[in-house]
Each structure stands twice: as structure tokens, then as C-alpha cells.
Chain A
Amino acid sequence: MAGKTLYDKLWDAHLVTEREDGSALIYIDRQIIHEVTSPQAFEGLRLAGRKPWRTGASVATIDHNVPTTPFKSAAEIVDDTSRIQVQTLQDNTKEFGITEFGIGDVRQGIVHVMAPEQGAVLPGMTVVCGDSHTSTNGALACLAHGIGTSEVEHVLATQTLVAKKMKNMRVAVEGDLGPGVTAKDVVLHIIGVIGTAGGTGYAIEFAGSAIRGLSLEGRMTICNMAIEAGARAGMVAVDQTTIDYVEGRPFAPKGEDWDKAVDYWRTLVSDADAEFDAEVNIDAADIRPQVSWGTSPEMVVPVDGMLPDPQAESDEVKRSGMQRAYEYMGLKPGVPVTDIQVDRVFIGSCTNSRIEDLRAAAEVAKGRKKADSVKQVLVVPGSGLVKQQAEKEGLDKVFIEAGFEWREPGCSMCLAMNPDRLEAGEHCASTSNRNFEGRQGNGGRTHLVSPAMAAAAAVAGHFVDIRELDRA
């Protein structure tokens, strides 16, 4: 019998019961809750007179709606509907006895930054959240994926989820990454190769020497965008980097439990003879810094390339998608990527707002200035703790001196539910994960890039190859 994949092991360990029709009940160890996708779930519990199954399994915070300018209470949020959601989460967590890292708490932040930072996500766990980028947490070798609001309610009430086993895919990136090539470029490249539906129905394990060489933060950036490749869950096997990351975090096991946990966690790797339903092999040397040009994350090109010609695309549906994207983006095929002018820059989101992302951006910003043509550069840390750490290292000063804005933690311009947004027609170099029409503001045009590339675009006023920054 073939060995098991990491995903097989996680699935088996959480199987509560299998039903005759092939669906299963899996146990959920941790649920992360935020203000946008939870109100209707709590309402459902109340209407049915149900209580949460295990309140300790859930942790809540506010992120999607919060302003990134300082505020001290919900009452200070100007937008009515945002304020109501933030307030509603406060009320609900209180009523149901769930821990919330709320306003003014240094632990508050983007769900997928806060949870691993607290050690609320541990290897071997099943983790869900009413947010598709929950896949981020798979970097810690857990089965983590987004769910809808009805499922949020289901998990609250039963601590389980009705699920069907996904298929196994392995994406192996072997070799050394070139200079200026970051985790973000790796994942954008992968999506460019397999497409935005390439991973649909699969759990993807990211493997290979280039992935193992990444920090845990870098692995989170990769797993974060598994969903942009169509896969609900992405994951990386346990190694020493995983264990070092978890040790000492507030929710991590201690003492004897720690040793026992580490012994178990070390088994969370795919067996050598495990079989995958699909395998993709990528040579790290082929990956160059990436820039997305269109309205789907698969529309990416290397920064030293040209915008692609739709006529060269043989698939009719794809071709018309490209044509529509060109129209929306106000761009033309054949133009060099570095000719695209940038109006605003956003450095943040659950993809790239951890400390090493801010360090990478600051390294570029240091001693340089924002181009006059760039209207605004927002730097939004992923959590209060990331912000604190960055300030300890003086990164805030570097940004401010460069003419960037240093903000409070939250999702911010990643989805523009708060006041941070693009005006129609503006091009934005963004470290977030989605470049859909209107994502960062009605009519706004998003280009997905790494933090260093975003900072470089801010300085130059257009995209530049980070490897040639000083010559640009």
C-alpha cells in the first residue's frame, strides 16, 4: 500500500465519522472569527437556541472593516455599517464567551496574521475561518481552509464540518531562488503556470528545496495564495523551521506537552512513497520577479517581460477574458511591464504584512523618496504586534522619511471596505492577493507584486526590476 500524504494524515486524524454517501464529518480544532462573515452565524445560533460546542476553540478579531487611522472605540468609526459590524462582533463574542482581540488590543490584526502569531494555529490542527485566505495557516502543516457563513455556524454549534476529501496535489519548487525573487514571486509564478482553477478540488502541498528554504512567513505567503490557484487548502510539511516558529508563542503547548507535541508534529510530512493525484514541478531558476497585469491572478508576467498578446491564446474563453482585462486595465499588449505607471502603492494584507515583508519594503525605501507622481503609499502592518516590532526596528521612520504613510493594522486597501481605496482608473502596485475588477475600489486597477517590488515602484513611479533598482 502506498504511503500517506501530509493531507491524508491530517484528514485521517480528524475524521469523526464517515457517512455512507462518501461525505464525512471532520473535527475542527480551531475557528478564527472576524466581523464580516460571522454576524449571520451568531444570529443563526440565537434563533435556534444553540450554544457554541467548545468556546475555547474559537478566537475572534476585527480586521476587514477597521479604519487604519488610530481610533479608540467602535463609536469613533465613522462609517455606520462598519461600526455596526465591529460592535456586533464585540457583542456576540461577549454573549457567547469567545475570546476577542478587539479595539486597542496589541494582538488585534488580520485574522491570518494574528492567529499564527499567537500560536493559536499549531501543526496538525484543522483550522477554519469565514475567509478564503485561511489557507495561509497551512504553512504550519495544518489543514486550513475558508468556509462560508453557514459553515461558521455549523462549526460553532458542532465543532465539526461536513466535508468531502479533496484530491492531493504536490507543487515542488526545486533549486535556489535568484536574487530579488521572493515567496510572492514564487506563488504568482505557480498561479501563472497552473491557472486560477488549476488547484480546484485539490489540497496542494508545496514542497521542494526552494520552499523548505523559505522562512515560515514566506511559506505563509505561498499558502495564502493557494486559493488564487483554485485550491481551498495549501500546506507545507513540518521541519525545524516550523517548530522553531511555534516555540514560545502564547497558545503553544509548554513543558511535557511541548515535547510530546514536537514528537507528533515531526510525523507531519508526506511519506516518501505517498502518491499524489497531480504533480507540478517547477525549477526555481525559472522564476523572476512577477507583476500581474490583468484582472485575474493568473494574468502575470515577469517584470522584465512584455504584456502578452491575446491573439496568441488558443483557448477562446481565456482570450476573451484577456481582452476584457485589457479594456478594464487601460493597457495594451506588447508594452514592457516597466512602462506601467503607478498612482498608488499598497504594502499590506494577509499575503505580505508580516515583519519580514515590512523589512524587505523598508530596505528598498531606505534613503529613497516616493516619486512625485505617486499619490499615496500605504504601509499597513498585519497586526498590532507586527507594528510594534517594526517600530522597534525603526522601520516606521524609514517609511515616513521616504514619504510613505505608516498605518494601524487591518485589511485596508486589500479589499477597500474601509476608507483606504483607489479612485477609478488608478493603477496600484499592491502586495495583496486579488486583482479582480473593483477589488481595491470601484474602477481601480491592481497589480500584484512583492513588497520589495511595491516599494521600488513607489520610488520610481513605475514598475522596476528590483534587480536593477539602482539603474532605474
Chain B
Amino acid sequence: MEKFIRQEGLVAPLDRANVDTDQIIPKQFLKSIKRTGFGPNLFDEWRYLDEGFPGQDSSQRPKNEDFVLNQSRYQGASILLTRRNFGCGSSREHAPWALMDFGFKAIIAPSFADIFYNNCFKNGLLPIVLSEDNVEALFRAVEGKEGFRITVDLEQQQVIPESGEPLSFEIDEFRKHCLLNGLDEIGLTLNEADTIRAYEARRAEREPWIFQ
């Protein structure tokens, strides 16, 4: 996994609550057996006027010019600003894969759905929870100034807008550690293989049917 230390970038505002993973990456694209290549179909139903299908050349499709990611001022954005309960719905990890493949490195919202939140960390995408008020203020700042940029400093746990006060955010220590160092979680867990085996032996004593 790639390390995440600091990220400075353009912010794209997606002013909707409860954006679900069906919206982030519609199901017809889940049929791929790869982890990459989902970017052109991120928010497919909102980005394009026609119905997308896998394997198509999306650059030739009619675009919905009103949709925020199609507006010229947000091209190249690497930070997504959005509303509460982002990523609800299905557990598909294709959602963070699509966001990353598109170029997003961090997402800021007042809250995230649990599974999506989890999945982000496994892929080096940083979900940041800020208060509703702070998110609202950022929306106004982004809309108010073309090219508005933000720096996310994971070490300091801060979102630093180009103007205004830095905003602190909370993050689980273990997840922070893994992101900062780009660690492979499976490798870390396998360091504890003996502990797992000892646990299994205790369980097998008490609940032998689990291991049959």
C-alpha cells in the first residue's frame, strides 16, 4: 500500500448526503476481477447522460455538464468534500478503488458509513470526519473561490485550508500508523500467528464443532 503522509490538493464539493456505494460505482462495473480501472466510471450515473457498461471508452460518452466533477474548475481535484453518511449501502471495496483510481486521496464529510470507512484505510484513501459546521464552512469557502486548495496533514491530524484556521480531526492510532508507513495489514497480523494458534487450541477445547 502507498504511504499517506501529507496531501495538498484541489477540493471538489459534492453537496449530497447519504451518497451510497451504488452511486459511487454502479453495479455493472463490479464484474471486473481487478482492483484498477474503475476511475472513469466513478459516479457514472451522475457523470454521464447515457447508461454506462463495462469495457466502454468513457471519454466518448455524453457528459452531464452540470455534475460537479465535470466542471472545469474542479478538474484535477484530489480531495472530495461531501455530506453526512457518505458511502452507505453495499460493502463493495470497488467504491474506494474507484475514488482512488479517479485521483482522490482524501474525503472530508461529517460522517461515513462504517464498512466504507474501513475499506478506505485498506487502500490508502483517507476519510476525514469534521463537524457539520466545519464542513459547511468548507463548502462555502470552496464555492466562494475558484481553485480553493486544502492540505491534509496526517501526522498532525489536521486539515489546513488555504485560508482560515487549521481543523483537527480524530483518527485511530493503528490506522494512522498503517497509513503513514504504508503497511500491509496481513503481514502485520501474521506476525502474531502463534497467538492465533493458541487461541484456536483454546476454542477447540470448548467448541470442537467449530473446527470440524
Chain A residues within CB distance 8 Å of chain B: 16-17, 19-23, 25, 27, 29, 36-37, 39-40, 43, 48, 50, 53-54, 56, 64-65, 79, 81-82, 84-85, 88, 122, 124-125, 130-132, 145-151, 153-154, 157-160, 162, 164, 196-197, 200-201, 230, 232, 252-253, 257, 261, 264, 296, 317-318, 320-321, 324, 415-417, 434, 436-439, 442
* In the complex, chain B residues whose CB is within 8 Å of the CB of A16: 192, 195-196, 199
A81 touches B54 (CB 8 A): yes
Report whether B23 and A436 are in contact in the complex, using a CB–CB cutoff of 8 Å.
yes
Given A27-B199, A196-B18, A264-B207, A232-B30 contact (CB < 8 Å):
no
Residues of chain A contacted by B32 (CB below 8 angstroms): 81
Among B1-53, those with CB < 8 Å from A are 16-18, 20, 22-23, 26-28, 30-35, 45, 51
**Contact for B17 among A145, A150, A264, A321, CB less than 8 A:** A321
User: Which of B27, B114, B173 has the largest number of chain A CB atoms within 10 A?
Assistant: B114
Task: Tell whether, in the assembled complex, residue A146 and residue B91 are in contact, meaning their CB atoms are under 8 Å apart.
Answer: yes
Q: How far, in Å, is B209 (CB) from chain A's closest CB?
A: 4
Q: Mark B70-100, 1 if CB is under 8 A from A, else 0.
A: 0000000000000111001111110010000
CB-nearest residue of chain B relative to A129?
Answer: B91
Q: Are A200 and B28 in contact (CB under 8 A)?
A: no
Q: Judge whether B23 and A437 touch: CB under 8 Å.
A: yes
Task: Indicate if the CB atoms of A40 and B33 lie closer than 8 Å.
Answer: yes
The reply to whether B85 and A84 contact each other, CB–CB distance below 8 Å, is no
Question: Given known contacts A148-B119, A150-B122, A154-B189, is B93 in contact with A160 (CB within 8 Å)?
Answer: no
Q: Bound complex: CA of A56 vs CA of B175, how far in Å?
A: 30
Q: Known contacts A122-B209, A148-B115, A149-B93; is A40 also within 8 Å of B122 by CB?
A: no
Q: Sorted from nearest, which 7 A-B pairs have the closest CB atoms? A: A81-B31, A21-B173, A150-B122, A253-B209, A39-B33, A148-B119, A148-B93
Of B31, B84, B89, B173, the residue contacting A132 (CB under 8 A) is: B89
Give the distance in Å from the alpha carbon of A125 to the alpha carbon of B175 in the complex.
26
Q: Are B207 and A317 in contact (CB under 8 A)?
A: no
Contact A125 B210 (CB under 8 A): yes
List B157-205 residues whose CB lies under 8 Å from chain A: 172-175, 177, 185-186, 189-190, 192-193, 195-196, 199-200, 203
Number of A-B residue pairs having CB atoms within 8 Å of each other in the complex: 184
**Contact yes or no, B22 A40, CB < 8 A:** no
Measured between beta carbons, the chain A residues less than 8 angstroms from B35 are: 40, 149
Q: Please determine whether B22 and A438 come into contact, CB atoms closer than 8 angstroms.
A: yes
Once the chains are docked, how many angstroms separate the CA of A154 from the CA of B192? 13
Chain B residues in 8 Å Cβ range of A162: 174, 185, 189
User: Mostly helix, strand, loop or mixed at chain A's interface?
Assistant: loop
Interchain CB contact (< 8 A) of A158 among B118, B196, B211: B196
B85 contacts which of A154, A157, A200 (Cβ < 8 Å)?
A200
- Of all chain A residues, which has the CB nearest B176? A21
- Taking CB atoms, residues of chain B closer than 8 Å to A230 are 85, 88, 113-114
Q: Is B103 an interface position by the 8 A CB rule?
A: no
Point out the residues of chain A lying under 8 angstroms from B64, CB to CB: none
Bound state CA distance, A29 and B17, in angstroms?
A: 36
If the complex has contacts A23-B172, A148-B119, A154-B185, are A85 and B192 also in contact, measured as CB distance less than 8 A? no
Q: Closest approach, in angstroms, between the C-beta of B49 and any C-beta of chain A?
A: 11
B62 within 8 A of A: no
Cβ of A22 and Cβ of B31 under 8 Å apart? no
Q: A27 — which chain B residues lie within 8 A by C-beta?
A: 196, 199-200, 203
Q: Does the CB pair B114–A437 fall under 8 Å?
A: no
Q: Which residues of B contact A53 (CB under 8 A)?
A: 196
Q: How many residues of chain B are within 8 Å of chain A by beta carbon?
A: 60
In Å, the complex CA distance between A267 and B90 comes to 32
B123 contacts the other chain (CB 8 A): yes
Partner of A37, one of B45, B92, B175, B195: B92
Taking CB atoms, residues of chain A closer than 8 Å to B45 are: 437-438, 442
**Nearest CB on A from B42, distance (A):** 14
8 Å CB contact of A150 from B89, B123, B193: B123
Chain A residue with the shortest CB-CB distance to B112: A200
Across the interface, do A23 and B88 meet the contact criterion of CB distance under 8 Å?
no
26 contacts between A and B (CB under 8 A): A16-B196, A17-B192, A17-B195, A23-B175, A40-B34, A43-B33, A84-B31, A85-B33, A122-B209, A124-B207, A131-B91, A145-B115, A147-B91, A147-B118, A148-B118, A149-B92, A150-B119, A150-B185, A154-B189, A197-B88, A253-B209, A257-B208, A417-B31, A436-B22, A437-B45, A438-B45
A132: chain B residues at CB < 8 Å are: 89-91, 115
A37 to B209: give the CA distance in the assembly, Å: 28
| A415 touching B209, Cβ below 8 Å | no
Q: Say yes or no: A261 contacts B209, CB within 8 Å.
A: yes
**Which of B34, B122, B173 neighbours the largest number of chain A CB atoms within 10 Å of its CB?**
B122
Using Cβ atoms and an 8 Å threshold, which residues of chain B touch A40? 33-35, 93
CB distance from A263 to the nearest CB of B (A): 11
Using Cβ atoms and an 8 Å threshold, which residues of chain A touch B27?
415-417, 439
A200 lies within 8 A of B196 (CB): no
Of all chain B residues, which has the CB nearest A124? B207
**Cα–Cα, bound, A415→B27 (Å):** 7
Residues of A within 8 A of B85 (CB): 196-197, 200, 230
B210 touches A29 (CB 8 A): yes
How far, in Å, is B14 (CB) from chain A's closest CB?
A: 13
B200 contacts which chain A residues (CB < 8 A)? Answer: 27, 159
Residues of B within 8 A of A437 (CB): 22-23, 45
Q: Which residue of B lies closest to A92 (CB)?
A: B33
In the complex, which of the residues B26, B172, B193 has the most CB atoms of chain A within 10 Å of its own CB atom? Answer: B26
What residues of chain B lie closer than 8 Å to A21, measured between beta carbons? 172-174, 177
> Across the two chains, which residue of chain A brings its CB closest to B53?
A81
In the complex, the chain A residue whose C-beta lies closest to that of B35 is A40
Choose one: A84, A151, A164, A257; the contact of B172 (CB below 8 Å). Answer: A164
Write out the residue numbers on chain A whose beta carbons fall within 8 Å of the beta carbon of B23.
436-438
- Judging by beta carbons under 8 Å apart, are B209 and A257 in contact? yes
Check if A160 sits within 8 Å of B115, measured CB to CB.
no
Q: Report the separation of the CA atoms of residues A162 and B34 in the bound assembly, to the nearest whole angstrom.
A: 24
B113 engages A65 (CB within 8 Å): no
Residue of B nearest to A156 (CB): B186
With both chains docked as a complex, state the minimum distance between the C-beta of B31 and any C-beta of chain A, in angstroms. 3
